[in-house]
Amino acid sequence: MPELLFELFSEEIPSRMQQNAATDLKRLVTGNLRSAGLNFEDAATHVTPCRLALVIDGLPARQAAIQEERRGPRADAPEKAIQGFLGSLGIARGQVEERQTPKGVFLFAVIERAGSETRTILPDILLEAVRELPWQKSMRWGRNDLRWVRPLHHVLAVFDGTALEGALELGGQTLDFTNETRGHRHLAPGKFAVSSFVDYQTKLRESFVVLDRAERTRIIIDGATALAKAVGLRLRKDPSLLDEVVGLIEWPVPLMGRIDNNFMEVPPESLVSAMRNHQKYFALETKDDALAPNFITVSNMVSEPKRDATIVAGNEKVLRARLSDAKFFWDQDRTKPLSSRVPDLAFITFYDRLGTLADKVARVEGLAEALASFVPHSAPDTVRLAAHLAKADLTTEMVGEFPELQGIMGRYYARHFGAPEEICTAIAEHYSPLGPADICPTAPTSVVVALADKIDTLVGFFAINERPTGSRDPFALRRAAFGVIRLVIENQLHFPLRTLLAQAYNNFAIDDALSRSETTTNLLEFLADRLKVHLREEGQRHDLISAVFALDDEGDLNRLIARVAALAAFLGSGDGQDLMVAYRRAANIVRIEEKKDQRRYDGPLDVALFEQFEEKHLHAALDAASSEIAPLIATDDFAASMSVLAELRQPMDTFFDQVKVNVTDAALRENRLRFLTSIVETMNQVADFSKVEG
């Protein structure tokens, strides 16, 4: 079956856009093929810095024949109309059939159109995909008006061995479809023709291009690992850097260089940032996980000793300049104690209406002190000092150059100036957790400052009504909320969130802010939502979450979580399941009768109207349960209140077995319906069982 090979050859595509482009190209072309009725067996894409390629295997030589049905005029229409219909399709009267329809007898023609040759349809399909391919950022060049990620140079389009007829109009320049491409930019720049994907891949390899991304990745990992091993080191894993580097080369050749020893006194995080961000080098580590004085760079040139030596020497030279900067920052930053930098935070805006970073630090200090009483083993003075120093490294040269080192550098500088270790750790950890994969702080001082910082941010933005909407969350408030949740849950903290939010609010003085109660209510709702998402991701049943989910006045997150767990355990037991059946039965009867009678049955019970033993028995059990549950809920003993409910199971079962609710005596019926309502309500005090599914 014929094969289509398509390649868009351009100037270097940014690494981070390559894989999306490949996916999009495949999606667009295969979508167009399907709409044209062209089936295929397999579609695969390949992408390198200079080429975006697609190969589709097993296409038919032509489209399947298409059957079309056309309705003509009524069978008894004037001859002229009928002839007109036949004429328009070029068929005779004998080729149409008469068919009964609800509107009478009509003429129908079934025409079969032969499918077009695939070769003639493909060019438009490909061109449409090119025009529709979305780029994150695109540009124009020369006098053309087509937008593409970078200038396009050739379009290779080969079907069944030969080039397709077609051309891509750039809006000035025209690129004819050809069967030609080029190899490596510097090592094999000449054009060559290809007839199939296998031919293409083979000739590319001969021209120093490894087409397959996975293979390029493997060459880098294997090569770098071997180089490291040869000198007794290990390659430090860095998947996102690897992803980027694979998109920068067509012929990967890992090479090892050395870091001058006099830079090794600079904190390893700074060295790695300098190597990684600016130079895209991989770090190596020793057996005991320390940073080794070597690096791996990946060259795009075939290995050749003299050239390799030139490339390594060049890279080492650049790295020296980079690391001199890092060392300069490290030396310079330590000439000024961290504490003396705090006033400089007044020159950095936190956010327009929320003041400077100095303002933020002052607020966080107070909040941290308040939080300390809820976090075991944290001391008010210590957390206040940690909060005071937490942001000071933002004024250092090192963090100015490498923003991702915020906190980490603060720890080094605080330690240098003799701060207690728990404070140094808190400075480094207070931005955490940054995401689900990040480690959540557990050291008491770190926990307090991390919480205070996040709560301050959340309250501030909620006070000026800057809430995340849809995918827009420019201040990363979802992440901050998620951080609060993880800190509270993972450290088993119990505190009145509402009070603390209110206290955080009082630290602000913003014109035209939302009121305190509005701010805290909005924020608690937001936190409850985030907690729901979090629990769902942890695999909790969403219906159980809904059943217990209303934050109480205080906003204790752990209490809420305990309820979900207790409910799940209860419903997993036999008693729980049976009780659920009884609950639904009661609720359903009330719902149906209320609907039928267009009224509610929720008034007080008349005990005198109880006739049967079973209802009296259940009533007594319900009364007992109610009075037992109230104090249990107050003391947050959710599991115990569930066991109390479990005791209702047997009386409820016998009640439904023996007592008829819809009796003819109206007063009796009403009393029994009210009784069912009170059963439902009593149970709902513990959890909203109506939300439980299944």
Partner 1 sequence: MAEREAPRSDFQSLIITLQRYWADRGCVVLQPYDMEVGAGTFHPATTLRSLGPDEIWNVAYVQPSRRPTDGRYGNNPNRLQHYFQFQVLMKPSPIDSQELYLGSLRAIGLDPVEHDIRFVEDDWESPTLGAWGLGWEVWCDGMEVSQFTYFQQVGGIECDPVPLEITYGLERLAMYIQGVDSIFDLDWDGVPKDKGGKLYRDIFHQAEQEFSAHNFEAANAGTLLKHFEDAEAECASLLGRDQPLPLPAYDQCMKASHLFNLLEARGVISVTERQAYISRVRTLARDCCEAWVEAGANWKEREAARDA
Q: Which residues bind partner 1 (CB under 8 A)?
A: 11-12, 14-16, 49, 137-143, 149-151, 153, 173, 185-187, 248-249, 279, 297, 299-301, 307, 310-311, 313-315, 317-321, 324-325, 328, 347-349
Please, what is the minimum distance in Å from the beta carbon of residue 287 to partner 1? 28
CB 17 within 8 A of CB 136: yes
Please, what is the minimum distance in Å from the beta carbon of residue 187 to partner 1? 7
Closer CB to partner 1, 207 or 297, in the complex: 297
CA-closest candidate to residue 195, choices 164, 167, 153, 168 = 164
Please, what is the minimum distance in Å from the beta carbon of residue 306 to partner 1? 8
Closer CB to partner 1, 101 or 174, in the complex: 174
Residues 622 and 614: their CA atoms lie apart, in Å, by: 12
**Amino acid in the structure at residue 137:** K
Closer CB to partner 1, 14 or 60, in the complex: 14
CB 679 within 8 A of CB 622: yes
Phi/psi of residue 310, each to 5°?
Answer: -60, -45
Please, what is the minimum distance in Å from the beta carbon of residue 335 to partner 1? 15
Closer CB to partner 1, 14 or 31, in the complex: 14
Please, what is the minimum distance in Å from the beta carbon of residue 245 to partner 1? 10
Please, what is the minimum distance in Å from the beta carbon of residue 328 to partner 1? 7
Copy the structure tokens of residue 545. 């979450």
CB 324 within 8 A of CB 316: no
Closer CB to partner 1, 104 or 171, in the complex: 171
Please, what is the minimum distance in Å from the beta carbon of residue 28 to partner 1? 22
Residues 173 and 179: their CA atoms lie apart, in Å, by: 19
421: number of CA atoms within 13 Å, CB side? 1
For 220-289, give the secondary structure using H, E and C: HHHHHHHHHHHCCCEECCCHHHHHHHHCCCCCCEEEEEECCHHHCCCCHHHHHHHHHHHHCCEEEECCCC
CB 464 within 8 A of CB 513: yes
Copy the structure tokens of residue 67. 């059957």
- Cα 424 versus chain centre, distance: 32
Please, what is the minimum distance in Å from the beta carbon of residue 171 to partner 1? 11
Closer CB to partner 1, 107 or 219, in the complex: 219
Closer CB to partner 1, 185 or 617, in the complex: 185
Closer CB to partner 1, 180 or 518, in the complex: 180
CA-closest candidate to residue 655, choices 630, 618, 620 = 618
Closer CB to partner 1, 15 or 521, in the complex: 15
Closer CB to partner 1, 185 or 559, in the complex: 185
Please, what is the minimum distance in Å from the beta carbon of residue 12 to partner 1? 4
Please, what is the minimum distance in Å from the beta carbon of residue 395 to partner 1? 11
The alpha carbons of the chain give a radius of gyration, in whole angstroms, of 36
Residues 694 and 680: their CA atoms lie apart, in Å, by: 18
User: What sign does the CA torsion over 285, 290, 292, 295 have?
Assistant: positive
Copy the structure tokens of residue 16. 């981070």
Residues 181 and 200: their CA atoms lie apart, in Å, by: 9
Please, what is the minimum distance in Å from the beta carbon of residue 349 to partner 1? 5
Residues 177 and 5: their CA atoms lie apart, in Å, by: 11
Residues 505 and 508: their CA atoms lie apart, in Å, by: 6
Closer CB to partner 1, 173 or 690, in the complex: 173
Please, what is the minimum distance in Å from the beta carbon of residue 277 to partner 1? 12
Please, what is the minimum distance in Å from the beta carbon of residue 466 to partner 1? 18
Closer CB to partner 1, 257 or 576, in the complex: 257
**Max Cα separation, the chain?**
106
Closer CB to partner 1, 58 or 171, in the complex: 171
Q: How far is CA 88 from CA 81, 281, 613, in A?
A: 11, 70, 87
Please, what is the minimum distance in Å from the beta carbon of residue 331 to partner 1? 12
DSSP letters spanning 393-436: GGGSHHHHH-GGGTTHHHHHHHHHTT--HHHHHHHHHTT---ST
Closer CB to partner 1, 157 or 311, in the complex: 311
- Cα 314 versus chain centre, distance: 40
| Continuous segment of H or E residues that includes residue 531 | helix 516-537
Copy the structure tokens of residue 356. 């400077």
